[in-house]
Amino acid sequence: MQLINPGFGLIFWMTLAFLIVLFVLTKYAWKPILASLKEREDSIEDALQAAEEAKKEMAALQAKNETLLKQAREERDIMLADARKIKEQIIGEAREKANKEASIIVEDAREQINSEKQAALIELKNLIATYSIEIAEKVLRQELSDSKKQQAFVDKLLKETQLN
Amino acid sequence: MGDKSISKQYFPLATLLLFFLFLGTTLLAQHHESKVDENWKEEALQQDFKAGDMIIEHITDSYEWHILTWNKTHVSIYLPVILYDQGEWHVFSSKHLHHGEAPYQGYHVAKEGFNGGKLVRTDTEGNEIRPDYDISITKNVLAIFISIFLLMWIFISVANSYKKRKGHAPKGMQSLLEPLILFVRDDIAKASIGHNYEKYTPYLLTIFFFIFFNNLFGIIPFFPGGANVTGNIGVTGVMAAFTFIITTFSANKNYWVHIINMPGVPWWLKLPLPLMPIVEIMGMFTKPFVLMVRLFANMTAGHIIVLGFVSLIFIFGHIAPVAGYGVSVVSVAFSIFMDILEVLVALIQAYVFTILSALYFGMATEEAH
């Protein structure tokens, strides 16, 4: 029975001692300890968050780099394509111009040839005419050596003239 | 810097040792060979070993701190007796009580019964009456003083190392105790109370470490351990009362509504006979009562079992020395097993008391849902 009969003195001293220990520990131990634990946890939390943010930023940077690279590549492709087009255009133009010039030259040559030919023909005609006249003269001289024959020829010429 | 910091570090320990030395030299038995002592020796020689008495002596409070008996001489720390009775103060050393065998200034230690082990006076009809106020520094009171001194020393130095090593990893005592502090804060306070746990954490930490330290000290078989502080119903009662007071004073409207008019319960359980309110009001008191009894019974039972195993050696030894030696092997093995179990129980009971207190605070501050 004595086990469950609490002593008054023990209760008195226990209450006093417990109040003291509760007060002293709360003020000088638990509050600073809990405060520093919280502070440490917060700093760890902050550090983790900062790391996470840095990681995100890094990823964003990388993505940006990638897009930049892609853009540059696209630009290069466009530039190359443009250059090719310009090159073709230039070649085309040159070819066209050359063709045109060639045709002009050919035309000129043809014209010259034509005119030369014409001149040659005229000269030939003249020559032939001169020769013909000479030949005709000679023939006529030979034919018209007697008067009869001359008469006959005049007649014939007249006849022809009448017919005309 | 080494010498200075070491001397600073060991200063409290040195003070503590000096305190005990002082206690020892002033209060320790002087081997006086008075008549009463002689008589007691005679009696002791004739007495057989009584396991029950020995066990009860070890688990109850006493006016002196018995350390050992060597050659029929008791070596004890005699503690001051302080009584206030019938308008008069009586202050004397428990040395005058001669281990509870002799009366002094009209007071003697009751042998048995409800008041067993406590100072009483005998009235004219022969009834044993306890003095009005007995605020003696008993064995348990001294053990409480030692434990609170140690608690304050340890935790204030830990708090200082938190200040000194700000932003660094814990070290030494700090790293030993930090998991326990975090355990109490996160798994007991935060888990049981909820968002406003911070207000109660200091109290929960205090009872946790107070119970845990005293439980461990109770397992140590010699001074300054060995006092059955947490196995004393007065001590557990005071702590349970603190929990009850804090619960009641921090209770919100929701808590009282649940006690007076429990929602979700058929009306005929409240009117005309208020069955539920009666049960709930009883519950308010049974909760701390159970806290008190659980800790007291667990610690006392553990001590009784260990002491019982040790007693077996002497009981068998009394029958035949050979039997005593034979049993001692088994008994010591079982005692070691029980002591290890007690270390576990020391932690578990501190945990249980703390988490139940936290749950009661949580119930008292829970918002209506």
User: Do B314 and B332 lie in a common domain?
Assistant: yes
Report residue A92's pLDDT band, with 50, 70 and 90 as the boundaries: very high
**Inter-chain contact A10–B114, Cβ cutoff 8 Å?**
no
**Inter-chain contact B178–A7, Cβ cutoff 8 Å?**
no
User: Do B160 and B273 lie in a common domain?
Assistant: yes
How deeply is B12 buried, as exposed, middle or buried, from its count of CB atoms within 10 A (0-12, 13-18, 19+)? middle
User: Do B31 and B96 lie in a common domain?
Assistant: yes
> What number is the ipTM of this complex?
0.81
Q: How many domains does chain B have?
A: 2
B interface mutation test: which of A1, A2, A11, A37 has the most B CBs within 10 A? A2
User: Do B159 and B58 lie in a common domain?
Assistant: no
Check if the beta carbon of residue B201 is closer than 8 Å to that of residue B187. no
User: Do B122 and B146 lie in a common domain?
Assistant: no
Higher pLDDT, B104 or B348: B348
User: Do B76 and B154 lie in a common domain?
Assistant: no
User: Do B66 and B171 lie in a common domain?
Assistant: no
* Residue B287: predicted pLDDT: 93
CB neighbours (10 Å) of residue B204?
25
Q: What is the pLDDT of residues B213-227, one digit of tens each?
A: 999 998 888 877 888
- Which of B60, B141, B201 is opposite residue A3, by nearest beta carbon? B60
Calculate what percentage of chain A has a pLDDT beyond 70: 98
Tell me which chain A residues have a C-beta less than 8 angstroms from the C-beta of B136. 9
Tell me which chain B residues have a C-beta less than 8 angstroms from the C-beta of A12. 133, 135
- Which of B56, B155, B167 is opposite residue A29, by nearest beta carbon? B155
Q: What is the pLDDT of residues B288-327, one digit of tens each?
A: 999 999 999 999 998 898 888 888 888 888 888 888 888 8
Q: B103, B137, B171 — which closes off a domain?
A: B137
Q: What is the pLDDT of residues A51-86, one digit of tens each?
A: 999 999 999 999 999 999 999 999 999 999 999 999
* Residue B318: predicted pLDDT: 81
User: Do B79 and B227 lie in a common domain?
Assistant: no
User: Do B51 and B175 lie in a common domain?
Assistant: no
Q: Is the pLDDT of residue B65 over 60?
A: yes
Choose the weakest-confidence range: B13-27, B173-187, B330-344. B13-27
Mean per-residue pLDDT of chain B:
82
Tell me which chain B residues have a C-beta less than 8 angstroms from the C-beta of A28. 152, 155-156, 159
* Residue B102: predicted pLDDT: 81
Characterize the bridge pairing of strands B119-122 and B108-109: antiparallel
> What would the mean pLDDT of A154-158 be, rounded to a whole number?
83
User: Do B295 and B195 lie in a common domain?
Assistant: yes
Q: B91, B117, B137 — which closes off a domain?
A: B137
Report residue B46's pLDDT band, with 50, 70 and 90 as the boundaries: very low
Higher pLDDT, B194 or B42: B194
Domain limits at B347?
A: 140-365
* Residue B76: predicted pLDDT: 84
* Residue B362: predicted pLDDT: 92
Distance, in Å, from the CA atom of B352 to the CA atom of B239, rounded to the nearest integer, reads: 13
Q: Is the pLDDT of residue B24 over 50?
A: no
Q: Does A40 touch chain B (CB under 8 A)?
A: yes
Check if the beta carbon of residue B145 is closer than 8 Å to that of residue B235. no
Q: B137, B155, B173 — which closes off a domain?
A: B137
Check if the beta carbon of residue B78 is closer than 8 Å to that of residue B89. no
User: Do B11 and B123 lie in a common domain?
Assistant: yes
* Residue B201: predicted pLDDT: 94
Report residue B31's pLDDT band, with 50, 70 and 90 as the boundaries: very low
Tell me which chain B residues have a C-beta less than 8 angstroms from the C-beta of A21. 148, 151-152, 206, 210
Separation in Å, CA of B156 to nearest CA in chain A: 5
List, in sequence order, every beta strand (DSSP E) within chain B: 64-70, 73-78, 80-85, 88-93, 108-109, 119-122, 128-129, 133-134
A interface mutation test: which of B82, B85, B135 has the most A CBs within 10 A? B135
Tell me which chain B residues have a C-beta less than 8 angstroms from the C-beta of A23. none
* Residue B19: predicted pLDDT: 52
Report residue B25's pLDDT band, with 50, 70 and 90 as the boundaries: very low
Nearest to B184 by CA among A1, A29, A99: A29
User: Do B109 and B148 lie in a common domain?
Assistant: no
Report residue A1's pLDDT band, with 50, 70 and 90 as the boundaries: low
**Inter-chain contact B234–A7, Cβ cutoff 8 Å?**
yes
Q: Is the pLDDT of residue B14 over 80?
A: no
